[in-house]
Structure 1
Amino acid sequence: MNLVLLFPGQGAQYTGMGKSFCDRYASAKVTFEEANDVLGYDLQNLCFYGKIEELTQTEYAQPGLLTVSMAIFRVFMEEIGIKPIYALGHSLGEISAITCAGGLQFRDALKIVQKRGRLMQETLPDGAGTMSSISGIDKSVIEEECHRLCSEDEIVVVSNYNSPQQTIISGHRHAVAKVGQKLVANGAIVTNLNVSSAFHSPLMKPMVPDFSAELAKYSFQDLNWPVISNVDAVPYFKSSEICNRLIRQIEEPVRWQESIHYIQKQGITHAIEIGPKTVLKNLMIRNAPEIVTYSYDKSEDRLSLVKGPLRKSTQAGSAEEDIQTVVTMCLAAAVSTRNRNWNEEEFLKGVIEPYQRIRAMQSVLKKQGNKPSLSQMQEALDMLRSVLVTKKVPLNEQKERFNQIVETTGTNHLFRDLAG
């Protein structure tokens, strides 16, 4: 399976998003609790029971979507655990993609999108900016009309190249309306979007200095897998590239169609949407129908995913190579770590006995086809700690071992203190 993960942006929110995951998975519940703590308000209640009018406001929609995507991603890593070849996020979703790829701590990402949402909402007076979806006409005609009618006082530009059938324009309300009227006269279908500002346009430029200053407060890491940039449809993974691309994205168009074309050329066969709704799944059908796409938010898609390509991978003997769990990684670390303790009694009690117990547990899990529970993961980590202490492994090496395990399996949110 050549996999890309997709992360949606604004427009995917709905009342009740994330609730089914919180009801079933401890990791999703922890994700929302962490978000509530960082943001200083009850985001969980807003996402589960709030009015859609409030949830659609940019300052709430952005943290909400990031949190739901992170919760779903953590469940995906626990249940399936296959690393993607690429990640691709639409607008705000690029920050979700970066965070899930290990480039940014979730807590820091929450602060960034909270600030981003507020700045976007405050940059223009209410009603000054808007966006419209255009279909039924070639994008070159749309670009030409925007260029012809755009002026310093009445700005209108293409903000999203979503698919061959859909282009979004953004700018001053009157200018967007004028371009829409011209395009309708030429046979286009124009739909006004329910948004609070003119995103991905030069009208967002005043917020760039404040947003840049906000990004400068945080530490970024190299990505565990490449993220494809909205602004140029090119993958990146170095930490030094992240901020510049997020800043450019504020006033430059989202080149989604080009991004999908890029992953087509790279041989991507499957995509999984990690977030609410099926917006990006639907766009994939329009851009690259040969790429089989699932929405992890939909239970029927999750079932199809496990019964389809994952079952085939298992039969082909490749799933064991792709899927790593806390238990299997703890077992591997226990046997591959150098021993510095030659006391036979201590070695028996601290290494051999706990290792054999966890190995037996893993054999049962493998036979039943189950993933380890939270308590079983904790047992495996306790076993590894006993092994490392008994083998007299230096503390810094112990910490590296634990960090590698939780980062690789996407469970660092569940075991924050284990390497302390």
Structure 2
Amino acid sequence: MTKIGMLFPGQGSQFVGMGATLAERHAIARRTFEEASETLGWDVMKLCAEGDSARLTETANAQPAILTYSVAAYRVLSAEWGVRPALGAGHSLGEFSALACSGVLAFPDAVSLVRKRGEFMESAGGNANGAMAAVSGISDERLGELLSQTSIGDSVIVLAGINSAMQRVVSGDRAALERLTLLLTDLSVRVTPLNVGAAFHSPYMKKASERLREQLEQCQFRAPEWPVLSNVTGLPHDGRPESLVRLLTRQLTEPVRWLSCMQEMHATGIDRVIESGPGSVLSRLWKSFSPETKTAYSDDMQGITTLMDNHRMAGYSDFLPRCLGIASATRNNRDDPDAYRIGVLEPYREVEKMAREQAEAGSLPTEEQLRKGWSMLQSMFDTKGTETAERIARLVRLLEQTGTSHLFRVSESINGGVEI
């Protein structure tokens, strides 16, 4: 079965009009924007769809707006397409979006938290002239030398992000960035200013990080529905509240190790990536890292449809072989040869023949054939006297691995704990 990774963009991805089409077409997206508006006390949808660009770019506005759109898009992806990620990661602010979508943070808490995070960033001492830029085409060693050379007194510029094998992000005082840009231009290095209003992920965020820690310590963190990677370590959060507080605090003053996050995703077998939120910056970064991976982003729902159709078909092709594997691996707790022949052997051989013909033809099973595989398992469980807990565990895993939860439902019941 293919494995989906979710990406959540950070500040700078915002644009006027974001989320408008999604909210117009999907009630669950509209409700998400309404929930955010009720929490914050102002109309988030209006700012996103019709607001002034300068106002939307303000850090305290951009962060809750982007998070709201990212969560709304994920809810649509989950409800309409059955997206179930194996792993998620968000870039800077996007890490909070990922934590909200994975259930670690309740959505109203996440919206309030990033609103305050944005306010703290805006008011942090020393960042009134802060700026950031993406830099491509220079070695880490040489960039480090130039960062030291152009940091003079309190006018400092530092490494703020490792986005890909070729791209780095720098952050700091605007005057220091101008000095660095001049030197890099002379070296024919590409420098792209970022659409942000402060020096994020730099020492200028120290006071903001201290205030954010106070807010984080008041949060209620829950177990994730799927793992989320930390920007600081590039590894999954361990779920401990004290660890989440520490890493999310450090995230404001330390570089975003996005390349490490992508490497971890790749190492865990992610072979399809969906970006949930405005734009497609992270999808493009992923393509530069893993060109063979199929990607899609929430501003292109047709692309999402194609990706999820392919994902579902891959699961379909694996369904019957997995049913046969479950039947073979399930212990027989009864001694009745005739019942075994009728309830296990005959349905097993029928499904085995279908699976063999499917494999030889290189075709996908029909929905009717999938249901025959499912029915074979029910018959097998009943005949072998399999306990309800084992039935449920095996069937839930089957649906998760093959992406067929929209066809079958597993629930505790008198007759074996399953329903079709």
Letter in 1 for 2:118: G
- Match of 2:296, SS state, is strand
Instruction: Give yes or no for contact 2:126–2:204 (8 Å, CA) kept in 1.
Output: no
- Partners of 1:336 and 1:34 lie apart in 2 by 40
- Identity across matched positions, percent: 34
Moved more, 42-51 or 315-324: 315-324
Q: Is the 8 A contact 2:12 2:194 kept in 1?
A: no
Is 1:150 the counterpart of 2:229? The answer is: no
Alpha-carbon separation, structure 1, partners of 2:269 and 2:405: 27
Give the aligned partner of residue 193 of structure 2: 192
1:316, distance to aligned residue in structure 2 (A): 3.0
C-alpha distance in 1 between matches for 2:238 and 2:226:
7
Instruction: Trace 1:17-32 onto structure 2 (pairs within 5 A).
Output: 17-32=18-33
Q: What residue is the counterpart of 1:66 in the other structure?
A: 67
Separation in structure 2 between the aligned mates of residue 210 and residue 45 of structure 1, nearest angstrom: 29
Greater displacement, 112-121 / 234-243: 234-243
CA shift, 1:60, in A, is 0.8
**Relative to 1, partners in 2 of residues 1:105 and 1:244: Cα closer, same or farther, differing over 3 Å?**
same
Corresponding position of 1:261: 263
Return the alpha-carbon distance in structure 1 between the equivalents of residues 414 and 97 of structure 2: 36
Determine the C-alpha separation between the residues in 1 that align with 2:317 and 2:26: 28
- One-letter amino acid of the structure 2 residue matched with residue 275 of structure 1: G
Give the conservation status (yes or no) of the 8 Å contact 1:149–1:175.
yes
Q: Separation in 2 of the partners of 1:275 and 1:219?
A: 24
| Structure 2 Cα separation of the partners of residues 202 and 5 of structure 1 | 29
1:312 to 311, 314, 326: 314
Distance across 2 between alignment mates of 1:11 and 1:336: 54
Residue 216 of structure 1 and its aligned partner are, at CA, apart by 1.7
Residues 222 and 237 of structure 1 are in contact (CA less than 8 Å); yes or no, is this contact kept in structure 2?
no
Unaligned stretches of 5+ residues in structure 2? 323-369, 371-397
Q: Which residue of 2 aligns with 1:228?
A: 229
Larger-Rg structure: 2
Q: Tell me, yes or no, if the aligned pair for 2:6 and 2:85 is still in contact at 8 Å.
A: yes
Which range is displaced more, 300-309 or 313-322?
313-322
**1:5-404 correspondence to structure 2 within 5 Å:** 5-124=6-125, 127-240=128-241, 241-317=243-319, 321-322=399-400, 323=403, 329=409, 332-335=411-414
Distance 1:156 1:255 in 2: 17
**Do the aligned residues in 1 keep the contact of 2:315 with 2:404 (CA within 8 Å)?**
no
1:314, CA displacement in angstroms?
Answer: 2.4
Give deviations 1:265-322, integer Å, cap 9, x for gaps. 2222111111111111111111221222111221221221133222232233289712
Provide the C-alpha distance between the structure 1 equivalents of 2:279 and 2:216, rounded to a whole number of angstroms. 28
Q: TM-score by structure 1 length?
A: 0.76
Q: Deviations over 1:87-127 (max 9, x none)?
A: 11000000011111111100100110000011111114675
Q: Secondary structure at the match of 2:82?
A: coil
Letter in 2 for 1:86: L
SS of residue in 2 equivalent to 1:236: coil
Structure 1 residues 126 and 235: CA distance shift in structure 2, 3 A:
closer
Give the whole-Å Cα distance in 1 for the aligned partners of 2:407 and 2:164. 42
Q: Which moved more, 1:199-208 or 1:116-125?
A: 116-125
In structure 2, give the amino acid aligned to 1:37.
E
The number of residues matched between the two structures is 340
Per the alignment, do residues 335 and 11 of structure 1 end up closer, same or farther by CA in structure 2, a change over 3 Å counting? farther
Gaps of 5+ in 1: 339-354, 364-420
Q: Partners in 1 of 2:416 and 2:174 — Cα distance? A: 64
Distance 1:336 1:24, change over 3 A: farther
State which drifts further: 193-202 or 178-187. Answer: 178-187
Question: Which whole-Å deviations, capped at 9, do the CAs of 1:229-248 have from their partners, x for residues lacking one?
Answer: 11121112413221111100
Q: Deviations over 1:307-340 (max 9, x none)?
A: 32222322332897124769955x61455799xx
RMSD: 2.3
- By how many angstroms is 1:42 displaced? 0.5
Instruction: Report if the CA contact (8 A) 1:221-1:239 is conserved.
Output: no
Contact 1:127–1:173 (CA under 8 A) maintained in structure 2: no
CA contact (8 A) 1:81 1:324 kept: no
Name 1:414's counterpart in structure 2: none
3-state SS, counterpart of residue 224 of structure 2 = coil
Task: In structure 2, give the amino acid aligned to 1:321.
Answer: L
CA contact (8 A) 1:124 1:197 kept: no
AA at the equivalent of 2:298: Y
